[in-house]
Chain A
């Protein structure tokens, strides 16, 4: 299957700093990528849809100035958590649909963010 690479896998930072998470589709192009947040024992919560060459689409309740998304190429999307606070601590996962088929989502390995 398709491979989506996500880095870093784990990051610990101080409150007030910004953290960038990268998501790359390694063997296919993705005009769209999705960013999720997952709390322990909870399902995936869609945060935003990243669109190559245009602005991301954010879900209701997600602060776009807090979670900056850049989809600069057909294989790379980044999520920057700005001025992180302890409540932003979570597991963040990206995904991309192979061949544009939204039902065939391939996920990155996730990033565990811990804000002290």
Chain B
């Protein structure tokens, strides 16, 4: 079993819809959870990071962490064509140097 699992998509949704992106993981030691957005042939951009369980909101983005289920989510409200990109989840344990990335989910927002 891979440490981080993420559905590669592509996921296509109409403009204005709520998008739900998810990752599961197997390592219960993970404490920090991040979401990155990557446009084609560009470096990833940090969107959100959370520590341990709970929710965090920033504008149209909400990150959720459920450590009991080893499941994290990113919600995008009022999705826009400019949100079309690949979204990578990432996580690491307390004291770990290495961040483990998911493979990324390709998202297409249809105008």
Give me the interface of A with B, judged by CB distance under 8 Å. 1, 4, 6, 32, 41-44, 46, 49, 91, 93, 95, 102-110, 112
**Minimum Cβ distance to chain A for residue B21 (Å):** 14
Contacts of B60 in A (CB 8 A): none
Contact: B49 with A109, CB < 8 Å?
A: no
Contact: B88 with A93, CB < 8 Å?
A: no
Q: Number of B residues whose C-beta is below 8 Å from A?
A: 24
Contacts of B16 in A (CB 8 A): none
The answer for the CA separation of A89 and B98 in the assembled complex, in Å, is 24
Contact: A43 with B44, CB < 8 Å?
A: no
Interface SS majority for chain A: strand
Contact: B102 with A109, CB < 8 Å?
A: no
B97 at the binding interface (Cβ < 8 Å): yes
Contact: B41 with A112, CB < 8 Å?
A: yes
The answer for the CA separation of A109 and B44 in the assembled complex, in Å, is 8
Contact: A103 with B44, CB < 8 Å?
A: no
- A104 touches which of B42, B49, B96, B106 (Cβ 8 Å): B49
Contact: B97 with A107, CB < 8 Å?
A: no
Given contacts A41-B8, A44-B101, contact A110 B41 (CB under 8 A): yes
Of the listed residues A6, A91, A95, A105, the one surrounded by the most CB atoms of chain B closer than 10 A to its CB is: A105
Contacts of A91 in B (CB 8 A): 41
Chain B 39-65 interface 0/1 with A at a Cβ cutoff of 8 Å (1 = within): 001111110010100000000000000
> Please, could you name 28 A-B residue pairs with CB atoms under 8 Å apart, sorted by A?
A1-B46, A4-B43, A32-B97, A41-B103, A42-B103, A43-B88, A43-B101, A43-B104, A44-B44, A44-B88, A44-B101, A46-B98, A46-B99, A49-B97, A91-B41, A93-B43, A93-B44, A102-B32, A103-B32, A103-B49, A103-B51, A104-B49, A105-B46, A107-B43, A107-B45, A108-B43, A110-B41, A110-B43
Residue of B nearest to A36 (CB): B101
Contact: B41 with A103, CB < 8 Å?
A: no
